[in-house]
Chains A and B, each alone.
Chain A
Amino acid sequence: MHNHSEINEEIRFLAQSEIRLKILSELYEQPNNISGLVKKTQITYSSVSSNVNKLEENEFIRKVEKKYYVNPMAEIYFKALMDFKKSVDIINDYGAFWNKHNITQLSIDSMKNITALKDSKLIETTPLDIYKTHNTTKNQLIESKDVKAIFPYLHPEYPQLIETILQNGGTVELIVPRTIFKAIISPIDDKLKKDAINGERLIVYTVTDDLDLYLTVCDEKMSLGLFKNDGSFDQNRILISDDKKSHEWANELFKHVKHRVIK
């Protein structure tokens, strides 16, 4: 173990007090004086003032003409801490999505960058709509021109979906297990398939080992599905998004898996 593999005193000092964290985030947004902070945070004057003093003593903030400013270095440390907080929030917000699921197919980078999924939505099936997850991703796929997908299992609608995208002039890049390759590709119209392959609009990578991950990256959208720890795919939950950061995140993950597959 390295000597820097521990939570140090400074991190602990900040994390110990919600009030200090709150004051720092306020001052990070906008420099302020004590009564201004009291007004904004609704925390009592005495708590604000004693914590402001502690923060000043520890050189996280400084006073310039009646107002407190976050020190430039402290600002970066604080950003790192808040980034951790946001990652914890996302782990908790989508707790049911990660919990008891296999995340070994995610890259370490994608885990470290998990805050990119902040604006994603967790879609769950309901007894009244048991195909909600499938239909959601299906709609994403149909409308798209540029599709990258990891399909770990065969859904009978996949060949038709791929055909539709190709007919619309789109491109499809697939990663699938070798075992389903034939079943997914054969039903597609021969001429369309041939043209698409020659025109590099249809690229398929096959994998022999486990592919315990469902991922689509289409145009600006993405969706992600996980396997449960018992080895079965969880058809009842997917994480979807149409914001840029999630899309980028999914794209990086696709690249990561592709890289592993091509070797």
Chain B
Amino acid sequence: MTNIQTKKELNKEFKDVKYILTSSMRAKLLLALYRIPKNLDELRSELKKPSATILHGLKELESINLVRKAQKYYELTSNGYLLTTNMVKLIENWFALSKNEAFWDNHDLSDIPDEIIKSIYLLKDAEYVNSTTSDLSIAFNKYIKLISNARKLQIIMPIYSENHFKHMIDLLNNEKIDELRLIISEEIYDSICENELFKQELLENEKVIIKITEDNLKIFLTCSEKFMSLTLFFKDGHYDDSQILIGKDENALKWANNIIKKFEVK
């Protein structure tokens, strides 16, 4: 037998999480009441369960102070609202991860800070694009198309890619971009310096702002005012140009900006 003390501590440590997450009724009730208070009739028709089951669940939630009854309506308490907000976050985090699981699982995520990983729910509407064996450059072409329609670009660039740089210079020279912020490692910076053209057109361009980090980077993140995109390295250390994750909604942009902020202060 597991010793009683250990068991008690374990039970205590995970008690609430277990209580909420393992009962589908309790979790469903919290979610049903998340937006607005509801009465029993409304809950019954929404959850399609008998009154007794629903009332039982509500009683349980009332007893741990997550739900309260006001007149005939049930509503979340402040604690209930805080908890449910975080439960929604958990559900959306899970959803965002499983939706693009192949993308996340394939790559080295060590450069993405923990707090940013925990807010991966912001990418729940992002989609990843895969290149195919018949067209290896789908991801790259998609990327070029995206940056061609941006006015302001922030890029964390972990690779020295002439292809990418040439496109950027093109956009700068054709007045397509007003501002290009590049976050690069010292190593990449040195390589750029060795190429006369790149040095002149990128490093000496007043529209380009360069920020150099000491560490080598393992993340290729681009953020404009309209889109964000992410490509990563395989776990064996090679850059993967075949898969790109693209998000165009406000949340995805926020996620990308949060990462950039982290790297800006590095």
Q: Which residues of A contact B (CB under 8 A)?
A: 4-8, 10-12, 15-16, 18-19, 21-22, 41-44, 47, 72-73, 76-77, 79-81, 83-85, 87-88, 91-92, 95, 98-103, 108, 111-114, 229
Q: Which residues of B contact A (CB under 8 A)?
A: 1-3, 5-6, 10-11, 13-14, 16-18, 20-22, 24, 27-28, 31, 65, 77-79, 81-83, 85-95, 97, 101, 104-105, 109, 114, 117-120, 124, 235
Whether the pair A12, B21 counts as a contact (CB closer than 8 A) is yes
A7 to B219, CA, bound (A): 31
Whether the pair A103, B24 counts as a contact (CB closer than 8 A) is no
In the assembled complex, how far is the CB of residue B172 from the closest CB belonging to chain A, in whole angstroms? Answer: 32
Given A18-B18, A44-B1, A73-B104, 8 more pairs with CB closer than 8 A: A16-B22, A73-B105, A79-B117, A84-B87, A98-B82, A99-B79, A114-B82, A229-B78
Residue pairs across A and B with CB atoms within 8 Å: the count is 138
Contacts of B90 in A (CB 8 A): 11, 80-81, 83-84
Whether the pair B97, A73 counts as a contact (CB closer than 8 A) is yes
Whether the pair B94, A77 counts as a contact (CB closer than 8 A) is yes
Whether the pair B79, A95 counts as a contact (CB closer than 8 A) is yes
Residue of A15, A19, A102, A114 near B22 (CB, 8 A) is A15
A157 to B78, CA, bound (A): 31
Contacts of B16 in A (CB 8 A): 88, 92
A6 to B104, CA, bound (A): 22
A114 to B90, CA, bound (A): 13
Whether the pair A76, B82 counts as a contact (CB closer than 8 A) is no
A81 to B120, CA, bound (A): 13
In the assembled complex, how far is the CB of residue A185 from the closest CB belonging to chain B, in whole angstroms? Answer: 33
A–B complex contacts, Cβ < 8 Å, 17 sampled? A4-B92, A4-B95, A6-B24, A12-B22, A15-B14, A19-B2, A43-B2, A43-B6, A76-B97, A76-B109, A79-B114, A85-B14, A87-B83, A88-B16, A95-B79, A111-B85, A111-B86
Whether the pair A6, B21 counts as a contact (CB closer than 8 A) is no
Interface residues of chain A: helix, strand, loop or mixed (majority): helix
Residue of A18, A41, A87 near B86 (CB, 8 A) is A87
Whether the pair A19, B91 counts as a contact (CB closer than 8 A) is no
A11 to B104, CA, bound (A): 18
A256 to B109, CA, bound (A): 30
Whether the pair B78, A103 counts as a contact (CB closer than 8 A) is yes
In the assembled complex, how far is the CB of residue A146 from the closest CB belonging to chain B, in whole angstroms? Answer: 17
Given A16-B22, A80-B118, A84-B89, decide whether A11 and B14 contact each other with a Cβ distance below 8 A: no
Of B20, B89, B119, most A-chain CB atoms within 10 Å: B89
Whether the pair B82, A103 counts as a contact (CB closer than 8 A) is yes
Given A5-B91, A95-B79, decide whether A42 and B117 contact each other with a Cβ distance below 8 A: no
A74 to B18, CA, bound (A): 18
Whether the pair A100, B78 counts as a contact (CB closer than 8 A) is yes
Given A22-B10, A88-B17, decide whether A6 and B117 contact each other with a Cβ distance below 8 A: no
In the assembled complex, how far is the CB of residue A44 from the closest CB belonging to chain B, in whole angstroms? Answer: 5
In the assembled complex, how far is the CB of residue B101 from the closest CB belonging to chain A, in whole angstroms? Answer: 6
Residue of A4, A16, A72, A88 near B83 (CB, 8 A) is A88
Whether the pair A6, B89 counts as a contact (CB closer than 8 A) is no
Whether the pair B83, A7 counts as a contact (CB closer than 8 A) is no
Whether the pair A102, B78 counts as a contact (CB closer than 8 A) is yes
Whether the pair A7, B109 counts as a contact (CB closer than 8 A) is no
Whether the pair A72, B105 counts as a contact (CB closer than 8 A) is yes
Residue ID in chain B nearest A112 by CB atoms: B89
